[in-house]
Amino acid sequence: MTTNQQAGTKVISRNKLLGIAGVGWMFDALDVGILSFVIAALAKEWMLSPSEMGWIGSVNSIGMAVGAFVFGILADRIGRKSVFIWTLVIFSVASGLSALTTTLAAFMILRFFIGMGLGGELPVASTLVSESVASHERGRIVVLLESFWAGGWLLAALISYFVIPNYGWRIALLLTALPAVYAIYLRLHLPDSPQFTAKKDVVRNISQNIKDVWSKEYARRTLMLWIVWFTVVFSYYGMFLWLPSVMVMKGFSLIASFKYVLIMTLAQLPGYFTAAWLIERAGRKFVLATYLLGTAVSALVFGNAETIGLLLVAGMFLSFFNLGAWGALYAYTPEQYPTIIRGTGAGMAASVGRLGGIFGPLLVGSLVAKGYELNLIFGIFCISIIIGVVAIIALGTETKQTELE
């Protein structure tokens, strides 16, 4: 086989992996995106209080925290591929069942299991892709993997705009159960990480893996990741799960709010693509810090906006910068650890982040119930993001094009 043929084979394999993992990632985003619209619909149908609305998002994040921790550890024990498949099945089946619920309690129990699947799948998928591509394009490919999230959110916005007003939120949730079928295809066609396969015979104690994440060699990286993940997830879920509801609070109808959020969602795609282009040129730290600062400014403007024009522009910039930062964070995280503890380290960081996802929606619900203005709420998220930026600059190390250990 010639050098050109070998290169072509690698491209096909890389693109195939990106496509398979990316579609699974898109279905995850579809579920999270649908939830933000479903919360707004449930608030009207079930007469939910702001606190109850906040708890729906927070229970989802509790499940994600548990899932990221448990499945991250399992990924270092049984492989990235197996965990990726089973987490897809868990969240897909639970999402389909949630469409049949008639009480808030049952809905929230199923949201916990949906969250477990989502929380476990995301860091494992990024780890799998990171370990399967060359160092000179690793960051770009992982950000492109994250760009499928925008496709899922866009699909969620389209389904919510056209399906929920005409057919109800239950039909919308049933549509999110489709990944269960796709998981069967993944089982047959998805290769496992070559780095994990090479070291799968190395038996490691789970407690040792957890301890090593905080060893002297990796403690600084772990501290940085935990701060960044917490602040980013806290602000993301606080803002985006409430986005349709915030538009309603600003005086727009439910259908109009769905339409405006759909427009804002379109800005996610260029956010990812510009981050993917920059990350191998300017580096992980620069892209992550810059896009997070853009998120902070956009959040502040959005919270203070009064006109529909300013709301849309600020919302689009919020989507552009925030989702570009997410792509950089998922590329940056697995690069902090060696193969033997990479799943554990990435999973633990994501798990700590999901704790922020618990408090974010609850904070919004609590402050709205007490009558606080939205500009104060979004100001809090702005400050949170800036704390994350400081952690990146002060504690982070650049990993652009470095070989994974």
Average pLDDT, the chain: 84
Q: Using CA atoms, how far apart are residues 376 and 381, in angstroms rounded to an integer?
A: 9
CA 188, 191, 192, 198 torsion-angle sign = positive
SS (H, E, C) 144-211: HHHHHHHHHHHHHHHHHHHCHHHHCHHHHHHHCCCHHHHHHHHHHHCCCCHHHHHHCCCCCCHHHHHH
**DSSP summary character for residue 399:** -
Q: How much is the pLDDT for 30?
A: 85
- Averaging pLDDT over each range in 167-171, 286-290, 310-314, 344-348, which range is the top one? 286-290
% of the chain beyond a pLDDT of 90: 25
Predicted confidence (pLDDT) at residue 383 exceeds the cutoff of 80: yes
- Judge whether residue 7 has pLDDT over 50: no
Per-residue pLDDT tens for 325-362? 998 998 899 899 998 888 889 889 989 988 888 888 88
Nearest CA among 387, 385, 381, 383 for reference residue 367: 381
In angstroms, the CA 118 to CA 60 distance is 9
The residue among 288, 323, 392, 342 whose CA lies nearest residue 150 is 323
Residue 128, both tokens: 């799998």
Q: Is it the case that residue 307 has pLDDT exceeding 50? A: yes
**Cα separation of 186 and 211, whole Å?**
32
Cα separations in angstroms, 287 against 353, 392, 393: 19, 11, 11
Dihedrals phi, psi of 217, to nearest 5 degrees:
-70, -35
C-alpha–C-alpha distance, residues 318 and 326, integer Å: 12
The model's pTM: 0.78
Q: Is the distance from CB of 202 to CB of 79 less than 8 angstroms?
A: no
* Of 69, 84, 326, 78, nearest in space to 213 by CA: 69
Q: Contact 61/357 with Cβ under 8 angstroms?
A: yes
Going along the chain from its start, the domains and CATH numbers come out as 14-188+201-395 (1.20.1250.20)
- The shares of helix, strand and coil residues in the chain, as percent rounded to the nearest 5, are 80, 0, 20
Asked if 144 and 280 count as a contact pair (C-beta separation under 8 A), the reply is no
CA atoms within 13 A on the CB side of 289: 17
* pLDDT grade for 405, boundaries at 50, 70 and 90: low
Confidence band for 4, pLDDT divided at 50, 70 and 90: very low
Residue 8 has pLDDT above 50, yes or no: no
Q: How many CB atoms lie within 10 A of CB 206?
A: 12
Residues 229-269: pLDDT tens digits?
999 999 988 888 777 777 777 777 766 777 777 788 788 88
Q: Which phi and psi (to 5°) does residue 266 adopt?
A: -60, -25
CA distance 217 to 342: 14
